Amino acid sequence: MSWKKDCASALRSVEELEEKIQLSAAERDYFHIKQDTFRCAVPLYYLSLIEDSENDPIRLQAIPRIEEFTVKPFECTDPLGEASYKVTDRLIHRYRDRALFLATDTCAMYCRHCFRRNFTGQHEGPAGDTEVEAAVNYVSSHPEITEIIFSGGDPLMLDTKVLEGYLARFKAVRSGLVLRVGTRMPVVMPSRIDAALVSMLSEYKPLFIMTQFNHPRECTAESMKAVSALIDAGIPVLNQAVLLKNINDNADTLEILFHCLVRNRIKPYYLFQGDLAPGTSHLRAPLGEGLRLMKELRGRVSGLALPVYAVDLPCGGGKVPLTEQYITGKTEKGWELTDASGRTFLYPEV
Report, as residue numbers or ranges, the catalytic residues. Answer: 94-95, 98, 107, 111, 114, 116, 275, 312, 319
The region that residue 21 occupies, defined by phi over 0 for left and psi between -120 and 50 for alpha, beta otherwise, is beta
CA-nearest of 164, 180, 161 to 172 is 164
Q: What is the largest CA-CA distance in the chain?
A: 54
Site string for ligand SF4, 181-220 (x = CB under 6 A): ---x------------------------------------
Number of residues near ligand SF4 (by CB under 6 A): 10
d(CA 240, CA 243): 10
**CB atoms < 10 A from the CB of 177, how many?**
20
- Contact region with ligand SF4 (CB under 6 A), list: 5-13, 107-115, 139-147, 189-197: 107-115
- Contact region with ligand SF4 (CB under 6 A), list: 113-121, 142-150, 323-331, 340-348: 113-121
- 270 belongs to the binding site for ligand SF4 (CB under 6 A): no
Long-range contacts of 119-124 (CB under 8 A, 24+ apart): 119/152, 119/153, 120/38, 120/152, 120/153, 121/38, 121/39, 121/153, 124/153
CB 106 to ligand SF4: min, Å: 8
Select the residue interacting with ligand SF4 from 66, 92, 111, 322 (CB under 6 A): 111
Helix (H, G, I), strand (E, B) or coil at 329: strand
d(CA 209, CA 201): 10
CB 120 to ligand SF4: min, Å: 5
CB 34 to ligand SF4: min, Å: 23
Which residues 275-314 are close enough to bind ligand SF4 by CB under 6 A? none
Which residues 114-133 are close enough to bind ligand SF4 by CB under 6 A? 114, 116, 120
- Contact region with ligand SF4 (CB under 6 A), list: 73-81, 110-118, 165-173, 296-304: 110-118
Beta strands in the chain (DSSP E): 86-88, 91-95, 98-104, 147-152, 178-182, 207-211, 237-242, 267-272, 308-313, 318-321, 327-331, 334-338, 344-348
- Contact region with ligand SF4 (CB under 6 A), list: 109-117, 215-223, 257-265, 319-327: 109-117
- 180 belongs to the binding site for ligand SF4 (CB under 6 A): no
Contact predicate 148/112, CB 8 Å: no
Nearer to ligand SF4 (CB atom), residue 116 or residue 284 = 116
Query: How far is CA 161 from each of CA 4, 30, 166, 168, rounded to the nearest angstrom?
Result: 14, 37, 9, 10
CB 113 to ligand SF4: min, Å: 7
- 153 belongs to the binding site for ligand SF4 (CB under 6 A): yes
Residues that bind ligand SF4 (CB under 6 A): 107, 110-111, 114, 116, 120, 152-154, 184
